[in-house]
């Protein structure tokens, strides 16, 4: 976590409902934070065929992210990658196939490398 100002956009933390950053709970602010110079998260843009467990998928409306999903599994078949499984909150989802959750053409993929 990267502590800072309550409801701040230049940090990323959650201690309680009243003591958290906006980037913790607002998908588009999180997207902007992880690619900013203030971020302590080392991340790179990715795609469906190269993300891995722990990476983030964000659902988009235009260029704005409105929901974040965490990759919890990847299924392979004899011909290669077949499905990505995700967990998410709001409508609780645990290890749900991405193809059943939302169309993958309205998403952006973030590969989490680690901390900066």
List C-alpha distances in Å: 16 to 24, 84, 114: 11, 31, 24
Q: What ranges do the domains of the chain cover?
A: 1-39, 42-115
Which of the four CATH numbers 3.40.1350, 2.30.30, 1.10.10, 3.40.50 does domain 42-115 have? 2.30.30
Predicted structure pTM score: 0.86
Within 10 angstroms of residue 71's Cβ, the number of other Cβ atoms is 21
Distance CA 107, CA 63 (A): 10
Confidence of residue 90 (pLDDT cuts 50, 70, 90): confident
Mean pLDDT of 72-89: 93
The whole-number pLDDT of residue 1 equals: 84
- Confidence category of residue 89, pLDDT binned at 50, 70, 90: confident
Residue with the bigger pLDDT between 91 and 14: it is: 14
Residue 102: pLDDT over 70: no
Share of the chain above pLDDT 90, in %: 68
| Residue 116 DSSP SS3 | coil
């Amino acid at each position: 976590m990267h502590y800072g100002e309550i409801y701040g956009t230049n940090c990323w933390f959650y201690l309680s409902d009243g003591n958290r950053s906006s980037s913790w709970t607002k998908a588009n602010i999180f997207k902007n934070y992880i690619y900013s110079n203030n971020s302590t998260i080392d991340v790179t843009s990715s795609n469906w065929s190269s993300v891995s467990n722990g990476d983030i998928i964000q659902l988009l409306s235009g260029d704005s992210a409105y929901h974040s999903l965490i990759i919890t599994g990847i299924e392979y078949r004899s011909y290669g990658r077949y499905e990505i499984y995700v967990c998410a909150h709001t409508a609780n989802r645990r290890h749900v196939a991405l193809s059943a959750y939302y169309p993958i053409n309205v998403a952006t993929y973030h590969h989490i490398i680690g901390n900066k």
